[in-house]
Amino acid sequence: MDKKFYYRIVHNLISIFTIAPILIISISSPAFSTIYYIDSITGKNNNNGISIQNAWKSLAKVNATTCSPGDSILFNCDGLISKNITNYDAKAGY
């Protein structure tokens, strides 16, 4: 066997060990999760809630939305929320 053959084997192994962790991380990450934004000062409940500029105003929209595992609800720290989230499912762990 010549040096080129061994070079190809080493090159392929390096490629596999470099790409495999990236694939595992990308497959296991919540790529389809949604981030919802709540801003009780400037938000509007008729917004879609999926960007800071289109934040919801109250938890009424959160409570009316079916969240999936991996979804996040982010609150503007300047706002005041005086209600509870009602669709929390302790069995699902979210």
46 and 68 in a common domain: yes
Residue 42 lies in a domain: yes
Asked if 26 and 36 sit in the same domain, the reply is no
Tell me if 79 is assigned to some domain: yes
Among 36, 63, 39, 59, which Cα is nearest to 48's?
36
Q: Does 75 fall in a domain?
A: yes
Work out the end-to-end distance of the chain between its first and last CA atoms, rounded to an integer number of angstroms: 56
Tokens representing 21 are 């962790």
Let me know whether 66 and 49 are in one domain.
Answer: yes
Which range of 1-5, 11-15, 47-51, 85-89 scores highest in mean pLDDT? It is 47-51
Q: Are both 8 and 43 inside the same structural domain? A: no
Q: What is the pLDDT of residue 44?
A: 93
Query: What 3-state DSSP class applies to 38?
Result: strand
Output the furthest CA–CA distance in the chain (Å, rounded).
Answer: 74
Any domain includes 61: yes
Same domain assignment for residues 50 and 66: yes
Report the length, in residues, of the chain.
94
Whether this prediction's pTM lies above 0.85 is answered by: no
